[in-house]
Amino acid sequence: MSLQEKRQEYKCGDSYVTLADIPPWSKSARTREGQDISPTSAINEKISIFQGDITKLEIDAIVNAANARLAGGGGVDGFIHRGAGAVDLQAECQSLGGCETGQCKMTGGYRLPAKYIIHCVGPIGEKPELLASCYKNALDTLKAAKLRTIAFPCISTGVYGYPNDNAADVVLKTVKTWLEDSANQAAVDRIIFALFLDRDLEAYKERLPRYFPQ
Ligand code: ADP
């Protein structure tokens, strides 16, 4: 199917967002400061923040904050199941036999603009190692599947109750460490933090210059 044909099938119609619409962090900082400086680190070309609905992103893979049964639920999980077409996605999820906390499983994206969904099961409550494990496993899964673009919601910070600021620290540290491996860095084009709530946008904006200095 051509991209034009696939776009006709999107449940979100023509409200999809392409990678070209989302500047990398290096560019965001340059624009903000009104300066045309070259990025100090290649890593800064590989990450972005995006405020909005993750299900609109026309990229290789979006991450779902799933439950252990992969049964579909509320929050971002509900958005993803509705955006994909709940019946088809549920059938594939049911065939996977659930997923352990901190682990992930990949499915097709069906009628989402994203090609694949990586379903991560985040910890209930503040368990930094399990949260870090979600992000690392999702990135390893992306790389193993030879996919190059991914977006993450703020896993566990909704119903699962992980404090937003502390989660942002774990996420940025984990992603930075993963990207510092040169083979990983070469394997991805963009890692997008899809921030739905203003409080998460603020938490990431405050921390990005610290973890990813320009
Ligand atoms: P969890 O059960 O892992 O806590 P939730 O879905 O309750 O998962 O919340 C995870 C995060 O996803 C929250 O920050 C929530 O605001 C955010 N979220 C909800 N809907 C969307 C969406 N459509 N796109 C991106 N993020 C979303």
DSSP 47: E
Q: Is 104 exposed, middle or buried (0-12, 13-18, 19+ CB in 10 A)?
A: buried
Residue 147 pLDDT class (50, 70, 90 cuts): very high
Name every residue whose Cβ is closer than 8 Å to that of residue 34 and which is 6 or more positions away in sequence.
none
pLDDT of amino acid 214:
82
How large a percentage of the chain has pLDDT more than 90?
89
User: How far, in Å, from the CA of 117 to the mean position of ligand 1?
Assistant: 15
| Angle at alpha carbon of residue 106, lines to 103 and 109, rounded to 5° | 140
pLDDT of amino acid 29:
59
pLDDT of amino acid 194:
98
User: How far, in Å, from the CA of 44 to the mean position of ligand 1?
Assistant: 25
In 3D space, the residue among 76, 47, 42, 55 whose CA is nearest the CA of residue 174 turns out to be 47
Residue 86 pLDDT class (50, 70, 90 cuts): confident
pLDDT of amino acid 152:
99
User: How far, in Å, from the CA of 114 to the mean position of ligand 1?
Assistant: 17
Name every residue whose Cβ is closer than 8 Å to that of residue 160 and which is 6 or more positions away in sequence.
65, 122, 123, 124, 125
Q: Is 152 in the pocket of ligand 1 (CB under 6 A)?
A: no
Statement: residue 88 has pLDDT above 70: yes
**Sole residue written with tokens 């990135």:** 139
DSSP-assigned states of every residue in 4-66: HHHHHH-TTTT--EEGGGS--HHHHHHHHHT-----S-GGGGSEEEEES-GGGEESSEEEEEE
* d(C-alpha 72, C-alpha 110), whole Å: 15
Q: Choose the residue to mutate in 55, 131, 154 for probing ligand 1, maximizing ligand atoms within 8 Å of C-beta.
A: 154
pLDDT of amino acid 32:
54
Of the options 3.40.30.10, 3.40.47.10, 3.30.1950.10, 3.40.220.10, the CATH number for the domain spanning 3-18+39-211: 3.40.220.10
Residue 41 pLDDT class (50, 70, 90 cuts): confident
* d(C-alpha 18, C-alpha 6), whole Å: 14
Q: Is 83 in the pocket of ligand 1 (CB under 6 A)?
A: no
* d(C-alpha 22, C-alpha 75), whole Å: 23
User: How far, in Å, from the CA of 154 to the mean position of ligand 1?
Assistant: 6
Statement: residue 132 has pLDDT above 80: yes
DSSP-assigned states of every residue in 60-104: SEEEEEE-TT----SHHHHHHHHHH-HHHHHHHHHTTT---TT-E
User: How far, in Å, from the CA of 197 to the mean position of ligand 1?
Assistant: 9
Task: Give pTM, 2 decimals.
Answer: 0.95
Q: Residue 35 has which token pair?
A: 């300066």
DSSP 126: S
The amino acid that residue 72 corresponds to is G
